[in-house]
Amino acid sequence: MEGLDDIFAGKSDKRKRGVDGEIRELHAKIGELTVVNDFLERGLKK
């Protein structure tokens, strides 16, 4: 029941876009950390 008034007021789209942007940022950060982790693993194997 929470947020029903937001749906009819058109606020749910703005909230969803904010969540989508946050998810993109988190995926980018995961990719960055994966690259760093792989780089460090290769360096330790030498």
Digit-coded pLDDT (tens) for 9-41: 666 566 667 788 899 999 999 999 999 999 999
- Is 6 within the bounds of a domain? no
**Predicted pLDDT of residue 6:** 67
- Is 2 within the bounds of a domain? no
**Predicted pLDDT of residue 12:** 56
**Predicted pLDDT of residue 26:** 96
User: Which residues does 15 contact at the CB level (< 8 Å), separation at least 6?
Assistant: 6
How big is the chain by its Cα radius of gyration, in Å? 19
Phi, psi angle pair for 6, to nearest 5°: -65, -35
**Predicted pLDDT of residue 44:** 86
- Is 29 within the bounds of a domain? yes
**Cα separations in angstroms, 29 against 4, 9, 14, 43:** 33, 33, 23, 21
Domain of residue 29: give its range. Answer: 17-46
| pLDDT tier for residue 1 given thresholds of 50, 70 and 90 | low
- Is 24 within the bounds of a domain? yes
Q: Could you tell me the pTM of the whole model?
A: 0.57
The Cα 31–Cα 33 span in angstroms is 5
Provide the number of structural domains found in the chain.
1
